[in-house]
Amino acid sequence: MARQNYELCRREPWLIAASKLLNRTPLNPTGEGVLDEYEERRRAWEATFLGRGQELGVIRKDLPSDLLVTVAFSFWQAANLWLLDRAENLGATDLIRYSFQLIESYRAILSPPLAPEARRVVEVPDGAVPAEVPRSTPGA
């Protein structure tokens, strides 16, 4: 799919401009215009998608639903704009690679948190900032 989208945008460059416009709509629509209606529908779809994922146990449930929708929606808005702003200079291979990496990042953000026994806890005494905070590693 990514390769077909890439080829389509190469043949029809106006699609990139239109996609940028749609991805630059405000996160808090006023409900007064066509793009606001589009934004409201996108948010409703995202809420339904995430809600179904929560029912199936594959989307985290530890955040309020409206916050989760905002995080997910903001992620895709930023990711799409980043890709669209660079689409003309990136080749198909890089665009596809970044697309898959972004999908993996989206999955990581929305996945249920690790079980308490699997979490890494960093003790910070008296509000001091530790010199080095352990980072999660792929697959951890």
Q: 78-120, pLDDT tens digit by residue?
A: 888 888 888 778 877 888 888 889 999 999 999 998 766 666 6
93: Cβ–Cβ under 8 A, 6 or more apart, which residues?
none
- Provide the pLDDT for residue 92: 78
Q: How far apart are CA 100 and CA 91, in angstroms?
A: 14
pLDDT in tens, 47-77: 999 999 999 999 999 999 999 999 998 898 8
How remote is the C-alpha of 4 from its chain's centroid? 21
* The pLDDT value given to residue 48: 94
Q: Which of 50, 71, 72, 70 is nearest to 61 (CA)?
A: 50
CB 134 within 8 A of CB 120: yes
pLDDT at 54: 94
Compute CA 29 distance to the chain's CA centroid, rounded to the nearest angstrom.
19
Tell whether the model's pLDDT for residue 124 goes beyond 70: no
The distance from CA 11 to its chain's CA centroid, rounded to whole angstroms, is 27
Helix (H, G, I), strand (E, B) or coil at 140: coil
Q: Is the pLDDT of residue 137 over 70?
A: no
Residue pLDDT, tens place only, 34-45: 777 777 888 899
Indicate if the pLDDT at residue 6 is higher than 80: no
The structure tokens 């001091």 sit at: 128
* pLDDT at residue 122 greater than cutoff 90: no
For residue 3, pLDDT over 70 is answered with no
